[in-house]
């Protein structure tokens, strides 16, 4: 586990984080809605074995896809219309850690609180605050959702090389997709009115 | 294709539908963000062959999962706190058709306009209007997102029985996931402020 990870702005488990407005009971209901059950938890443990060593490769791949997208790449642009490389590098370390955490972390209160923090960091509430950056103030929701398809499906080449059976690979893929969408559901809370979320 | 489908409230291609506020150019940018490319289009054609005959089975399975979920099942409840079976049955026919359309339809202006309509029918803008129903006025966004994990992953048993190679099945699965998330990104437009979507 990652209890001693030191990455600037990686506030998982920090006492400075407010409690998520989402309760653990609501989280369990969301897990059920995703089909994220004990088997999915077990599959993510297997995913960790193959994905954690490639976490940075995955983020590099995702970043290369974002860089080719005229609109998505702008989430990293500063006021001068150029990529803010300092911000990109800072966020990248936490994105790599997210891959590992998504496979390894229990879904407890500390995890829930940090998901809310990640959600806010995609919206005007906190997008630039952690890194004292001056990029655009939102990752548009439509791209957050759309790009989750890329995050869900691009683990396949790594799975293909792993020493699991075809059945196991399919189960791991499904668990990863469910995990991605559970994160996504939580991250959208700061985007919408409470009565619609 | 389904140009002569007659299902009450299935307004695909209807002149009564307003144009989507989302442009075709924005749709192409979203497709790119999903990794929804020509190969994905081709894979969905294969998906159609195996999924279309099972479209109603899939919706029955999804409905059975919703029925077991204390909160999700309430989207079908009328003012008396009981399931509105008339509404459920009306929506179901369109849900079945959606499975087929997701595999078969071109992503053109008519398709785009109808996705906006589907999005609205999940929100207070139009949830009950089509069927003159009196159920709750929103499918909470978190459940729309979370349940898309179930819609994405539950095609696997059908794929397993299909006469495609392991590689092809994986490609079809990925294309289905991308398609689901593209739909989801579009459907969320009525949920959020324009500056955040």
Domains, chain A, ordered by start: 39-191 (1.10.490.10)
Q: What are phi and psi of A83, to 5 degrees?
A: -60, 135
Using a CB-CB cut-off of 8 Å, the residues of chain A touching B188 are: 141-142, 145, 188
pLDDT over threshold 70, residue A2? no
Give yes or no for B181 touching A (CB within 8 A). Answer: yes
pLDDT over threshold 80, residue A4? no
pTM of the predicted structure, to 2 decimals: 0.97
Type and span of the H or E element at A64 = helix A55-67
Using a CB-CB cut-off of 8 Å, the residues of chain B touching A170 are: 156, 170, 173
Cα separation, B172 vs B177, in Å, equals 9
Q: Which range among A160-164, A188-192, B138-142 shows the weakest confidence by mean pLDDT?
A: A160-164
Query: What is the residue whose two structure tokens read 């009525």?
Result: B190
Percentage of residues in chain A having pLDDT higher than 70 = 98
Report the residue from B123, B146, B178 with minimal CB separation from A185.
Answer: B146
**A77-97 pLDDT per residue, tens:** 999 999 999 999 999 999 999
Using a CB-CB cut-off of 8 Å, the residues of chain A touching B189 are: 142
Among residues B69, B138, B65, the alpha carbon closest in space to that of A26 is found at B69
Residue of B nearest to A70 (CA): B29
Instruction: Tell me how crowded residue A44 is: count the other CB atoms within 10 A of its CB.
Output: 20
Cα separation, A141 vs B68, in Å, equals 29
A29 and B178 within 8 Å at the Cβ level: the answer is no
What ipTM was predicted for this assembly? 0.97
CA A69 to chain B, closest CA, distance in angstroms equals 7
Report the residue from A30, A145, A177 with minimal CB separation from B152.
Answer: A177
What are the residue ranges in chain B where pLDDT is below 70? 1-4
- Bridge partner list, B83: B77
Q: What is the DSSP string of B60-91?
A: HHHHHHHHT-TTGGGGGB-TTSSB-HHHHHHH
DSSP, res A194: T
- CB–CB of A143/A47 below 8 Å? no
A153 and B35 within 8 Å at the Cβ level: the answer is yes
Using a CB-CB cut-off of 8 Å, the residues of chain A touching B69 are: 29, 32-33
Cα separation, B193 vs B169, in Å, equals 38
Among residues A155, A153, A151, the alpha carbon closest in space to that of A184 is found at A151
Q: What are phi and psi of A157, to 5 degrees?
A: -60, -35
Residues A185-197, mean pLDDT to the nearest whole number: 98
Residues A11-22, mean pLDDT to the nearest whole number: 96
With cut-offs at 50, 70 and 90, classify the pLDDT of residue A151.
very high
Cα separation, B186 vs B197, in Å, equals 9
Cα separation, A92 vs A53, in Å, equals 16
- CB–CB of A159/A169 below 8 Å? yes
Neighbouring residues of B184: CB distance < 8 A, sequence distance ≥ 6: A145, B144, B145, B148
């Amino acid at each position: 586990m990652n209890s001693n990870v030191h990455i600037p702005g990686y506030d998982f488990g920090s006492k400075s984080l407010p409690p998520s407005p989402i309760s653990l009971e609501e989280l369990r209901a969301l897990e059920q809605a995703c089909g994220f059950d004990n088997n999915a938890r077990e599959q993510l443990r297997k995913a960790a074995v193959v994905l954690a060593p490639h976490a940075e490769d995955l983020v590099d791949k995702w970043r290369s896809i974002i860089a080719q997208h005229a609109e998505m790449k702008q989430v990293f642009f500063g006021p001068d219309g150029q990529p803010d490389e300092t911000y990109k590098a800072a966020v990248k370390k936490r994105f790599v850690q997210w891959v590992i955490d998504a496979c390894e972390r229990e879904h407890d209160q500390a995890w829930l609180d940090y998901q809310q923090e990640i959600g806010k960091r995609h919206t005007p509430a906190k997008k630039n605050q952690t890194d004292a950056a001056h990029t655009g103030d939102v990752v548009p929701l439509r791209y957050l959702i759309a790009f989750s398809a890329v995050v869900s499906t691009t683990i396949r080449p790594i799975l293909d090389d792993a020493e699991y059976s075809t059945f196991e690979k399919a189960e791991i893929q499904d668990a990863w997709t469910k995990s991605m969408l559970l994160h996504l559901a939580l991250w959208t809370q700061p985007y919408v009115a409470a009565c619609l979320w």
